[in-house]
Amino acid sequence: MITTSKGSRNLTWQQDLSYYNIQNITALGQNETLFQGVWPTTVSSPYYHHPQDEATSTFSKEHLLSFYQAYGISPDYTAVNSTLYALLDSSQSGLGQRALMDLLYPTTTITTTTTNNTNNNTTGGDDGNALPSFATRQNGTSFYLWNNTYYEDAGAIDPARGSTGATEQWFRAAALRPASTAPRAYGRHARAVDGYEPVLVEDVVSSSGGEGEMPVVPAASLVVGGGANVLSGFEGTGSPGTCGGGGASG
């Protein structure tokens, strides 16, 4: 309970965080498949316009990182390049806004951004019905050549001739304009061919009320890896478990 010249008010700060990680590492660390997810949620009090207001504002995010990398070390740098093969899928999505932004950009009316950790928005896609919101996803593949003799043990930097790859990104954000009930949305879809001479082959920007069609951010997918690093290849028996129920606080 905080008391100022405007009266007394309960202020809230709560956090719930979840984390999930699985790694499959082989060849003394040269090959790895990793999937990691972080789900932070904060509940705070928005900047009030009326005393005794106990509304709360929730900001929830999902961040997923999934990749597979496999190094091929050349026994003779003078003859054959070393290689690095990588697959990546990464995404972020969010509903609501950070506490600092909530105070910096208060709306003219008290809003409560309601989120639910079990909602379907945590798929890397976005929910156009909840504001503000954003979603972005990157998906890439790369076969990269490198050779220490190019630059005296400088390491695997500067794409070497023969490297190939492609990286694609989707982005969408929507928010309520100040002093308006009309949401605004911004989207972008870019796709590039990677390599010694990278090329941006697609870059489409769109906005609500403007040109272009708003992109749909596709849901994230799991990079399952390859060979001994495949995440789905387990030793022994095991069957998909079932998800239980129950209540929780915090």
Partner 1 sequence: MTVTSAGINYDRLSLLYFGDIEVWRSTTAMPVRTGIYYTYSKDVTAYMPLLRTQQKVIMQLDNIYDSVFTGNFNVTIAALYYDDAASYQYSQGSAGHRTGTINPPDAILPISSRSSAQNQTSVFSLPDDNATVALTFPRNVERAVVTVLASGSGGEEFWYTDVPAPYLDTFGADVTFARGHGPWREVQVLVDGRLAGVAWPEPVVFTGGISTGLWVPVVGMDALDLPAVDVDVSPWLGALCDGAPHEFALRVVGYDAAAPAGLGTVAQNWYVSGQVFLWLDEGGNQTTGTVSDCLHSAPSRACVRRVLTYFFFADWLGHAVGARGPGLPAGPDADNLCQRQQQLAPDLPLREPLQTVARRRDYDLQGLA
Residue ranges of E strands in the chain: 2-4, 7-9, 13-26, 31-44, 57-72, 82-95, 133-146, 164-176, 183-195, 199-207
User: Quick one: 121 or 185, whose CB is closer to partner 1?
Assistant: 121
Ramachandran class of 183: left when φ > 0, alpha when ψ lies in -120 to 50, beta otherwise: beta
Least Å distance, CB 76 to partner 1, is 19
Work out the burial of residue 205: count CB atoms within 10 Å of its CB; fewer than 13 is exposed, 13-18 middle, 19 or more buried: middle
Is the bond into 40 cis (omega within 30 degrees of 0)?
A: no
Q: Encode burial over 21-58: b for 16+ CB neighbours within 10 A, e otherwise.
A: eeebeeeeeebbbbbebebebbbbbbebeeeeeeebbb
Enter the tokens of residue 170: 């989707």
User: Quick one: 113 or 169, whose CB is closer to partner 1?
Assistant: 169
Answer whether 171's CB lies under 8 Å from 99's CB: no
| Residue 99, H or E segment | helix 99-104
User: Quick one: 192 or 216, whose CB is closer to partner 1?
Assistant: 192
Q: Which of 202, 201, 228, 214 is nearest to 174 (CA)?
A: 214
User: Quick one: 209 or 250, whose CB is closer to partner 1?
Assistant: 250
User: Quick one: 182 or 243, whose CB is closer to partner 1?
Assistant: 243
Least Å distance, CB 205 to partner 1, is 14
Helix then strand count (H, E) for the chain reads 1, 10
